[in-house]
Structure 1
């Protein structure tokens, strides 16, 4: 399946589903710990790769930070912009359609970059390119928050194997979403080898009365 086909799958998902309105607790904690004490919040520029319909960028904009988002789905970008325009008067930044592997911003531009299980729908090789781009656009000591599905998570090993630790799954909540890569701890460390790791957490939650588990890595790192 081509990258274009995966983008088309997510375009259909965003077009036909109304979800993803509120940020996850771990993302809120990351923003609060690192940026809530900044007096001039508009001076802080935060980018989300794979911003979807805008749950995280909406929250960041409401908190007064300058927010940027990039997503491959035109429907997701349209919904995110419409929500921010309607609900966050005078928000600063932009949400655009684009390709994560070539982030269209200058070097040392962002104070933080967020990846909420978006990079993991790319191959390991493409993910390496994306993290290199994130490193480039981050300021010195800038932060990255990245969340990715871990090996052993429900869905891994089902359906069709399409690459290194990657599947088009036939079971679980990722069914119907196309390509997904499940990472070992070593994979994550390899992808983030240019960054200084600050937090490395492992999160699990059960589904269907404990019959299945979703497993995730949540990492906070900074640009060396």
Structure 2
């Protein structure tokens, strides 16, 4: 990773730390629409253990726990995860929720084939290079069990903020202090190589609105002779 990438990552880390500190529970208590849909997909697949990447203060991780899943929630913001842990205790689901401070530019802190499902709402479209995104999806593949499901959402190049604000190259644009990697469709297809690409669903979120894709892809099961 180049020095400029390092600097952007640290600026974004500090920005999210301050944002969560200044606005506790900033996204509210209700789960995101993608999390509700993902829980249904995970349940249908027989998943029990869910890894959430970029969990923030935990509205989606807590929803998964309330639905009966065991959840490992990761984020690079200790402030957000502290809020998540407090909320898990208040909601009576602490026994089903674990947290880990983690930067997704580093290998995931899990053994091979150790989780049933992975969820990431707008994590892959943070200030990550295309190379880093590919490396992260390779890590997701490593920690998923055969037949495991990965549901992620990303803002795409049809979004109103694409090419607005400060450009950092590689389709990364910073607006209002938040840097976003806007996805072209071919990047979604590239990330699904070797997977079954089950769905790419367009949806909108927020007041702008943000324009996103919800992507569902499944690892092939173990083949039997």
Q: With the length of structure 2 as denominator, give the TM-score of the two structures.
A: 0.87
Report the Cα offset of residue 93 of structure 1: 4.0
Report the Cα offset of residue 213 of structure 1: 4.5
Residue 133 in structure 1 maps to residue 159 in structure 2: no
Q: How much is the aligned-residue C-alpha RMSD, in angstroms? A: 1.9
Secondary structure in 2 aligned to 1:125?
helix
Q: Please give the alpha-carbon distance, in whole angstroms, between the structure 2 residues aligned to 1:100 and 1:26.
A: 20
2:4 aligned residue: none
Task: Give the number of equivalent residue pairs.
Answer: 210
Residue 115 in structure 1 maps to residue 120 in structure 2: yes
The one-character-per-residue Cα deviations of 1:131-185 (angstroms, maximum 9, x if unpaired) are 111010000010001100010202111111102111112xxxxx222x2111111
Report the Cα offset of residue 204 of structure 1: 3.7
Consecutive unaligned residues of structure 1, counting only runs of 5 or more, are: 170-174
Residue 13 in structure 1 maps to residue 30 in structure 2: no
Q: 1:213 to 1:37 in 2, by over 3 A?
A: closer
Consecutive unaligned residues of structure 2, counting only runs of 5 or more, are: 1-6, 221-225
Q: Please give the alpha-carbon distance, in whole angstroms, between the structure 2 residues aligned to 1:81 and 1:2.
A: 28
Q: Is the 8 A contact 1:61 1:88 kept in 2?
A: no
Q: Is the 8 A contact 1:165 1:182 kept in 2?
A: yes
Q: 1:85 to 1:213 in 2, by over 3 A?
A: closer
Q: Which runs of 4+ in 1 moved over 2 A?
A: 88-93, 204-207
2:67 aligned residue: 63
Q: With the length of structure 1 as denominator, give the TM-score of the two structures.
A: 0.87
The one-character-per-residue Cα deviations of 1:87-126 (angstroms, maximum 9, x if unpaired) are 1245224111012231100000111000100121122111
Q: 1:134 to 1:37 in 2, by over 3 A?
A: closer
Residue 124 in structure 1 maps to residue 152 in structure 2: no
1:32 aligned residue: 40
